[in-house]
């Protein structure tokens, strides 16, 4: 069961392993990004960062097939590296209960605006986030589970994106 999707280009880090996994009750983390899935070092290191939580590092296509075919009762948390990765999962019919926009560090050379202290958004990203909303998903940003979630589309709109 796909409980939660977090869009976070830091992938697996302390906030995810110490707070989000426990708050969601996730049994399985799936990191989704085509480039990361091709990198043998990241495929080996990311599960170690998950501190005992079963972890898969998959391409977008592999993640879609795995989640659609999963008949277990595992509570799955997906970590999509970029908004475009998340959108492809949603367009393929995956339906997470929640979508949380986490850390998005600015990429060198990109035309971005910092919309929160830890989220950089380009005009192209803003279009992608709005497409997710058009598909019927409500996006929030929430640094830690103990923080109140905030509507993400409202935040980017207020920042002129």
Domains of the chain: 2-158 (3.40.35.10)
The token pair that represents 118 in the structure block: 């830890």
Indicate the pTM of the whole model.
0.95
C-alpha 96/C-alpha 22 separation (Å) is 17
pLDDT, position 157? 98
Average pLDDT in the 124-129 region?
99
Pick from 129, 100, 106, 127: nearest CA to 118: 106
pLDDT, position 25? 94
Residue corresponding to tokens 């803003």 = 126
Chain Cα centroid distance, residue 84: 10
Give 54-97 pLDDT, tens digit per residue: 999 999 999 999 999 988 889 999 999 999 999 999 999 999 99
Antiparallel, parallel or unpaired: β 120-121 and 113-114: antiparallel
Residue 16 has pLDDT above 90, yes or no: no
């Amino acid at each position: 069961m796909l409980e939660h999707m977090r869009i976070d280009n830091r992938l697996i880090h302390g906030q995810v392993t110490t707070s989000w996994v426990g708050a969601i009750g996730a049994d399985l983390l799936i990191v989704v990004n085509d480039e990361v899935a091709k990198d043998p070092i990241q495929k080996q290191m990311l599960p170690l960062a998950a501190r005992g939580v079963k972890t898969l590092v998959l391409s977008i296509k592999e993640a879609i097939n795995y989640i659609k075919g999963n008949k277990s009762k595992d509570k799955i948390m997906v970590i999509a590296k970029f908004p475009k990765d998340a959108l492809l999962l949603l367009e393929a019919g995956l339906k997470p209960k929640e979508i949380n926009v986490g850390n998005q560090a600015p990429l060198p050379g990109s035309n971005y605006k910092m919309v929160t202290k830890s989220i950089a958004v380009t005009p192209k990203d803003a279009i992608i986030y709005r497409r997710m909303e058009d598909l019927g998903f409500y996006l929030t940003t929430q640094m830690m589970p103990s923080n109140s979630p905030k509507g993400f589309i409202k935040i980017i709109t207020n920042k002129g994106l």
